[in-house]
Structures are given as C-alpha cells and as structure tokens.
Amino acid sequence: MSLFPQRVFSGVQPTGNLHLGNYLGAISRFVALQQTHDCIYCVVDLHAITVPQKPSELVANIREVTAAFIACGVDPKSHIIFNQSQVAEHAELAWIFNCVARMGWLNRMTQFKEKAGKDRENASVGLYAYPTLMAADILVYRATHVPVGEDQKQHLELARDIAQKFNNDFSESIATAGYGEAFFPLPEPLIQGPATRVMSLRDGSKKMSKSDPSDNSRINLSDDADTIAQKVRRAKTDPDVLPSETPGLAGRPEADNLVGIYAALAEGSKADVLREFGGANFSSFKGALVDLAVAKLGPIGADMRRLQADPGYIDTVLREGSVRARAIAAQNMKAVKEVIGFIS
Ligand code: TRP
C-alpha cells in the first residue's frame, strides 16, 4: 500500500475518567507518532452516543479528552485534534459503508456481543453499526496507520475488509475517475502490546478501568501529585520482596503490574526495573514509583486542570482542527460520491 502517503488516524471515546491506562496504552503512543507521521486524533463523540450519555457530562468529557491530548503533548498546530461530530463526512461515509459491509461481518463482532449483553433487542442500532462508523473515521482521511489497543483489532480488520470490498466493487469506476487500482488504502493497525496493559491498583487481574467504583483502583490523568502518591502507596501488593528477573513475577499480578507501570513510565523494560530493584521491599519500590509517577504525570494533570478551566480555548482548538479535518474529508467524500455514481 505504498501508493498512499502515510497518515495516522486514531480516536478516543469521551467517556470520562481518563486514566494511566489510556495514557500508556494510547495517548503516549499518539504523541510519539507525531515525530514520524502526519497525525489526526479524534474525540469520537458520535461513537459515545451508541450508549446513553448525559448531555452535560458528554460535553465535559469531550473537553477532557481534548485537554488530555494537549497536556500529554499532542500538538494541535502541526497535527490535527478535533471532535467527530463537527465533521459530517464521518457519518456520511459511515452510511455508505453500511451498504458495503455485510450483516454476516458485523454479526461476528465480539465487542458488540459484550456491550449489548443479554438484552440484545434493546441495544441501539448505532451500537451494532459502530464498526462501520469506525471504518469511516479512518478511511474518510484515507489513513494508513491506526494505533489502537488489542481490543480494537477486530474492528480494524473489518475496516480493511470494507476498504477492500469498496475497491473491488467499484474498481472500474475508480479507474475511470483516475484513482488507479484502489481508492482506499488497507489501514494497518499499530497494536499496543500487552506489555503496557495497565491493571487495577486494587486487583492485578483486572484491567484499570474508568468504570471501577473504587477511584483508588486507577490513577486519573487529572489527579494531582498528592493523590497520585496516595494511590500508589495504597496499591495492593504481596508480602514478598521484588524478584531480580522477570520470571519471578509469574503468579504475582500486583507486583507485575507495578513493575510494568514503572517500566512504561521510565520507557524501559521490566527486566531493567528488576535489575535495579530486585530484592527491594514494596515500601521502598513504591517510594521510587511515587517519585517517577509524580514527575511524569504531575505536570500532565496540572496542564489538564489549567486547560479545562478554559473551555473557550479547548473549543477553539476543536473548531480549528475540525476545519482542517473537514478539508481533507470533504475532498475524499467528493471522490467517493463520484465513484459511486452520485451527482454533486
Ligand atoms: N473504537 C475505538 C475505541 O473504543 C475508538 C475509535 C473510534 C477509533 N473510531 C476510531 C480508534 C478510529 C481508531 C480509529 O477505542
């Protein structure tokens, strides 16, 4: 797919309580990719309403994700930050993709089955069609690379299937319109491996989650230094000292998680961490982790709080980002319409 210029697209849902897992698993990756790619980062508010949202919370959560992008180091001038609902082409292309994707493909999506649960009859049509909108998000920019977590791999494969079927179904018309053999690239997932999966601070076998009722189970990106320190010190551990090599973490999920968090924040490996802290007890290791976490996350939290205190600024970033995103999306949408046989 070298025919297509490289472009990164990814989206984050505005569902509140952004935490360390979102940072290490996604946003820090988005920041790094800015060095090598043109990047478009989207607050996917249209995806959020596939389940009920309170309007006053939704608007705050859209601003929270935007603030987090900026506070973590995404540059809204060199790259693009915007919210999905301001660029109508996402929904427009999603409709077309609803007519490309097959029922059988969507019926296989495990996330829908999980989210809809037992009461599938009562799930929104939007929740079912969610993956076609996600495909549209990516392909309306003809993006080539998509940083996502493991849980989104199946949706990315569906996006590739949609791109491929569109390219095949309309191959003649694509060629006639002068787009060569393929209109859409087959977007590649950049999967963040399990190494940076962050688990709950209260239970090393559960993922750190926005919906865990215990706030002590997660480090929120908006937490201040004292709160971060307190949560790390209260994190569940076991009675042993740290091992000096990684196999010694087996069967010790809480120890493994804290070492993993340290490694990710220090941008090193678990082996590096254990080389330094093997034999240490948890109270001294936690002291070092507090220092590191506060040094890395303290400024992010402070920046987020500062940005969130100025919603006018955040809204301006989103509006300006939307204008630039729309310019790309509109051009591609015009081509899609021509290829399909619409008049515009
Ligand atoms: N479904 C993704 C998630 O829940 C969010 C998302 C929506 C996305 N559209 C996207 C991610 C496009 C990557 C590309 O995490």
Whole-number pLDDT of residue 194: 64
Please check whether residue 282 is in contact with residue 268, taking contact to mean a CB–CB distance below 8 angstroms: no
Average pLDDT for the chain = 96
Query: Which residue intervals of the chain bear CATH 1.10.240.10?
Result: 215-306
CB atoms within 10 A of CB 194: 10
Measured at the CA of 47, the angle between CA 221 and CA 125, to 5 degrees, comes to 145
Q: Which residues contact 46 (CB under 8 A, 6 or more apart)?
A: 84, 85, 90, 91, 133
The architecture that CATH gives domain 7-196+310-340 is 3-Layer(aba) Sandwich (3.40)
Q: Count of CB atoms within 10 A of residue 164's CB?
A: 14
Tell me if 148 CB under 6 Å of ligand 1: yes
Question: For the segment 1-39, what is each residue's pLDDT rounded down to a tens digit?
Answer: 457 999 999 999 999 989 999 999 999 999 999 999 999
> Which residues, 6 or more positions from 203, have their beta carbon under 8 angstroms from its beta carbon?
217, 236, 253, 254
For residue 322 and ligand 1, the question of a CB distance below 6 A is answered with no
* Residues identified as active-site: 115, 207, 210
Instruction: For the chain, give every residue range classified as CATH 3.40.50.620.
Output: 7-196+310-340
H or E segment to which residue 115 belongs: helix 110-116
Q: Say if residue 118's pLDDT is above 50.
A: yes
**What CATH code would you report for 215-306?**
1.10.240.10
What's the chain's Rg over C-alpha atoms?
22
Q: What is the pLDDT of residue 88?
A: 98
The residue contributing the CA closest to ligand 1 atom 11 is: 11
The pLDDT assigned to 196 comes to 73
Mean pLDDT of 293-304: 96
- Mean pLDDT, rounded, for 162-171: 98
The answer to whether 95 and 83 are in contact (CB under 8 A) is no
**Ligand 1 atom closest to Cα of 26?**
15
What's the gap in Å between 155 CA and the centre of ligand 1?
Answer: 8
Q: Is the pLDDT of residue 301 over 50?
A: yes
Q: Is the pLDDT of residue 195 over 90?
A: no
Residue-level pLDDT at 1: 43
Residue 26 CB less than 6 A away from ligand 1: no
| Closest CA to ligand 1's atom 15 | 12
8-state DSSP, 251: T
The answer to whether the predicted template modeling score (pTM) of the entire model surpasses 0.85 is: yes
With 50 as the cut, is the pLDDT of residue 136 above it?
A: yes
User: Is residue 11 in contact with ligand 1, taking CB distance under 6 Å?
Assistant: yes
Contact between 313 and 307 under an 8 Å Cβ cutoff? The reply is yes
Instruction: Flag whether pLDDT at 245 surpasses 90.
Output: yes
**Residue 221 beta carbon below 6 angstroms from any ligand 1 atom:** no
pLDDT of residue 192: 76
Gap between the Cα atoms of 315 and 300, Å rounded: 19
Task: Supply 200's token pair.
Answer: 């709950």
pLDDT exceeds 50 at position 69 = yes
Q: At what angle do helices 270-277 and 253-265 cross, to 10 degrees?
A: 100
Measured distance CA(237)–CA(217) in Å, rounded: 13
Is a pLDDT exceeding 80 seen at residue 331?
A: yes
* 228 has pLDDT over 80: yes
The arithmetic mean of pLDDT across residues 84-107, rounded, is: 98
Tell me what the mean pLDDT of segment 214-231 comes to: 96
